[in-house]
Amino acid sequence: MAGKRLTLADVARAAGVSKMTASRALRNAGDVSRANIEKVQQAAREIGYIGNPIAMSLSNQRTNLVGVVVPSASNIVFAEVLAGITEALSDSGFQPVIGVTDYNIDREAETIRGMLSWRPAGLIVTGLDQPEPTRQLLEHAGLPVVQIMDVDGTPTDGCVGIAQTEAGTAMARALIAQGRRRIGYIGCDLAGDTRATKRRAGFEAALAAAGVSLVGTLVSEQPSSVVAGRKLTVEFLSRHDDIDCLYYSNDDIAVGGLFHCMDAGIPVPEQILLTGFNGLDLVQALPAQIATTHTPRHEIGLKAAQLILEAADQRSNRVDRMIELPTRIDITPGFPR
């Protein structure tokens, strides 16, 4: 039953025309008489013909694939970016192909190379800070490339993201404006995650400008999670108990911190103000206030994919646009009570 698949020749035969006419009729390309268009499309439907994109691609030198390279598949942030990409691509006839690097630059290069060999219509790559060889790869790919999440740097082609350093700076100022002075930093800054590093740098710089320096810093190489955040907070507080604010590298670990504080009876935010990053849905529902910076993750994916689609549409091999999306600081989140 898994017999050989139908080809264009079958459609042509069924419709009583040549392969070429059938091909054109199915794609609405070139000049074909209305009568033949009908006949061919009818025949194709009847015999259940599905085109072979592989043959098409080989002939065309182009595919309907969009490569997407992210550092982590299970991180909710990238899952949401992916959802945005999927949404933008959903009715376009393009298909995303996902590659995951696990924050490993060698794997990243390998993944990108593998994707390029498929000649995708475009590539969406996380981050702006690839090592030079990888950067070269992207530069000479000869197809639209959009780097996402970050705008602090120079993209090889297009770029959709947020100002990471500035996000850190802005939050530092906001915390100081709230009167916090004894501030600690807790981060899961994986080596490959330059965004977190930039935020932290911006944060510390702004503190310094206000004459404040971090009371303490605790950085872990493990992937971020609520559980990790809880453990790190316990550890941090065992070293520094005279704290009025904690800046975390993201919401996950900040939420873990909050859970510890609730168990330990530490009033949040009165005694310690906890600060995450991303503005996850979860944070809106928490039984205590934690501060965060909302980031447009879904929209980043959406926009990035749209840029690729536009370029593909114009048969351009460049995107050449830099899009900075706004973030929003929220120091009084919490469920409407």
Partner DNA sequence: ATGAAAGCGCTAACAT
Partner DNA sequence: ATGTTAGCGCTTTCAT
Interface positions with DNA (CB under 7 A): 4-5, 7-9, 17-21, 23-24, 26-27, 29-33, 35-36, 51-52, 55-56, 58-61
335 contact choice in DNA, its own copies, none (CB below 5 to 8 Å, kind-dependent): its own copies
Residue 31 interacting entry, from DNA, its own copies, none, C-beta within 5 to 8 Å by type: DNA
Taking CB under 8 A as the criterion, the residue among 9, 20, 47, 55 binding its own copies is: 55
Residue 320 C-beta: closest distance to DNA, Å = 24
Footprint on residues 104-123 left by its own copies (CB under 8 A): 107, 113-119
329 binds, among its own copies, DNA, none (CB under 5 to 8 A by kind): none
User: Among residues 230, 217, 306, 225, which one has the least CA distance to residue 262?
Assistant: 230
**CB under 5 to 8 A by kind: which of DNA, its own copies, none does 259 bind?**
its own copies
Q: Does 281 bind its own copies (CB under 8 A)?
A: yes
**Rule CB under 8 A: which residues touch its own copies?**
1-2, 50-55, 57-58, 63, 65, 72-76, 78-80, 82-83, 86, 90, 95-100, 107, 113-119, 139-142, 225-227, 229-230, 255-256, 259-260, 262-263, 281-282, 284-287, 298, 317, 335, 337
